């Protein structure tokens, strides 16, 4: 059996991969990231043959569903949206895998730790007061809702 190699990362693709088919053959891509980069590079390539620009392409998704696009630009637009959406889903999943735990110690400090999906606990920091913790959150780059939630959790820990 022939190995299928990703046209962007140049590694063997898993069974659950993206396959782009046109009049000439098939292109294999590992994941949504590779599909996005490959499609955008091709769609924006200077001096790309007009036949390649305008030919219809079929995309087989990892779940075996098929989609047809009128041209490579249509595929590039969809692939970009799909890759960004998948990245957002992965970020949200990662947020859900980590639960911040706030524990007030006997000395009145705030212990901030994470609990991973496997249940292991990692201490991130210990703060003498919630002002220091609040300053850290404000410079963290987290969105306002997440910061509000974390501040609320910290206040509950201090209040207990």
Residues 28 and 82 reside in one and the same domain: yes
Ordered alpha helix ranges (H), 44-143: 50-54, 72-97, 130-138
Give pLDDT, residue 71. Answer: 92
Give pLDDT, residue 65. Answer: 92
What value, to the nearest 5°, has the Cα angle with vertex 62 and ends 30 and 21? 75
Residues 86 and 27 reside in one and the same domain: yes
The residue out of 92, 117, 140 marking a domain boundary is: 92
pLDDT band at 141; cut points 50, 70, 90: low
Residues 84 and 104 reside in one and the same domain: no
The residue out of 74, 92, 110 marking a domain boundary is: 92
Contact 121, 115 (CB under 8 A): yes
How many domains would you assign to the chain? 2
Residues 77 and 109 reside in one and the same domain: no
In a domain, 11, yes or no: no
In a domain, 71, yes or no: yes
Give pLDDT, residue 15. Answer: 84
Rounded to two decimals, the pTM is 0.54
Domain range for 117 is: 98-159
């Amino acid at each position: 059996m022939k190995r299928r190699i990703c046209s962007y990362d140049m590694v063997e693709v898993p069974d659950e991969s993206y396959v782009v088919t046109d009049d000439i053959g098939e292109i294999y891509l590992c994941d949504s990231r590779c599909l996005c980069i490959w499609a955008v590079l091709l769609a924006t390539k200077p001096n790309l043959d007009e036949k390649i620009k305008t030919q219809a392409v079929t995309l087989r998704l990892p779940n075996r569903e098929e989609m047809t696009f009128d041209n490579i630009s249509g595929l590039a637009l969809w692939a970009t949206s799909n890759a960004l959406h998948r990245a957002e889903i992965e970020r949200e999943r990662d947020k859900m895998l980590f639960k911040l735990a706030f524990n007030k110690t006997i000395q009145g400090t705030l212990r901030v730790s994470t609990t991973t999906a496997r249940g292991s606990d990692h201490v991130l920091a210990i703060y003498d007061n919630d002002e220091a913790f609040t300053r850290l959150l404000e410079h963290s780059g987290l969105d306002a809702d997440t910061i509000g939630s974390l501040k609320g959790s910290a206040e509950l820990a201090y209040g207990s």
